[in-house]
Structure 1
Amino acid sequence: MTNHSLFALKLFSALGCGLVAGVFFAFSTFVMNALSRLQPAQGIAAMQSINITAINPLFMMALFGTAAACIFLAFSSLLRWHQPGAAYLLVGSLLYLVGTVGVTIVFNVPLNDALARVDPSSTEGASLWVSYLANWTFWNHIRTAAALAGAGLLTIALCC
């Protein structure tokens, strides 16, 4: 791979991590707080709608396109371990892959799936909503921090 292509991939990955971190940061800092102020039925219905509309080509490209680039960069860093910045590439990529995409798949998506199955106006829904808000937001904080740290490390790798 040429140096220009590797630089472009690092840049794409750093920007992708930052973009995803920003989306998740918005949820952690005000979206979930706003939803928690609504009546449970309204909050559940709003989050169910968000979860449906989040599955769109632009967001999926940002989330999983960045992941694909990070997979490539992680392997590339191992092959180029002796070169400056390889550790930043590896750790930044792994933070995004494990801390952002992994947490999304293992924790946030199952919580979203459980929320999708409840009737917003049911007592079961209201009960689930309380734990959903706390658990989903906790894991969202983790994936936000991982994506932001990944963006930072991949940005440092751009300079190496």
Structure 2
Amino acid sequence: MESLLVVLTWLSALGCALVAGVFFAFSAFVMRALAQRPAPEAIATMQAINVVVVQSAFIAVFVGTTATSAFLVLMAVLKSGDSRAPWWLAGGLLYVAGTFVLTIARNVPLNDALARCDPPSAKAVDLWSRYLKEWTWWNHVRAAASLAATAAFVQALK
């Protein structure tokens, strides 16, 4: 069991770091580049990204890290006397709540609304303005939560 906990902590740390990197890239330059394009073009591009992302290896990392993080939260509760337990709990809650749940609650509904619009329409252009601000704000939060979770899991490995 001890070896499994070490492996799962490593996998969680690496998964959180990969996800944080993807979210950071979107916050640092992808969304900024899309904001510089005409709205219909940016909308069509983001619609394509949202289709491709769910068919990519990113989803396996995103969901797999949720599973390992949730398991480590359970282990933190069951092994509360273990010196790693507070780090497992912090890392797991940061990732599950601040990344996975936040994605489902905030970013996915915005993506779904964008998917239903016709890029050249006036309604879509209005939606894009709101989408760009809100989606990017929540993405900043997801990036920070994923990075903080990475740090907690790394601390658990000491």
Q: TM-score range by the shorter chain?
A: over 0.9
Give the 3 Å change call, closer, same or farther, for CA 38–57 of structure 1 in structure 2.
Answer: closer
5+ residue gaps, structure 2: none
Residue aligning to 2:34: 35
Aligned residues: 158
Q: Name the Cα RMSD after superposition.
A: 0.6
Q: Any idea what SS the aligned residue of 2:37 has? A: coil
Quote how far apart the aligned CAs of 1:7 are: 0.3
Quote how far apart the aligned CAs of 1:68 are: 0.3
Q: Does 1:74 align with 2:73?
A: yes
In the superposition, the TM-score normalised over structure 2's length comes to: 0.99
Tell me which stretches of 4 or more aligned residues in structure 1 moved more than 6 Å.
none
CA distance in structure 2 between the partners assigned to 1:118 and 1:69 by the alignment: 36
CA distance in structure 2 between the partners assigned to 1:117 and 1:101 by the alignment: 23
Q: Does 1:87 align with 2:86?
A: yes
Residue aligning to 2:132: 133
In the superposition, the TM-score normalised over structure 1's length comes to: 0.97
* 1:99-135 Cα distance to aligned partner (Å, 9 max, x none): 0001100000000000000000000000000000000
Q: Any idea what SS the aligned residue of 2:120 has? A: coil
5+ residue gaps, structure 1: none
Quote how far apart the aligned CAs of 1:59 are: 1.0
1:1-160 equivalences under 5 Å are: 2-159=1-158
CA distance in structure 2 between the partners assigned to 1:56 and 1:12 by the alignment: 21
CA distance in structure 1 between the partners assigned to 2:147 and 2:66 by the alignment: 14
Quote how far apart the aligned CAs of 1:139 are: 0.2
Letter in 2 for 1:67: T
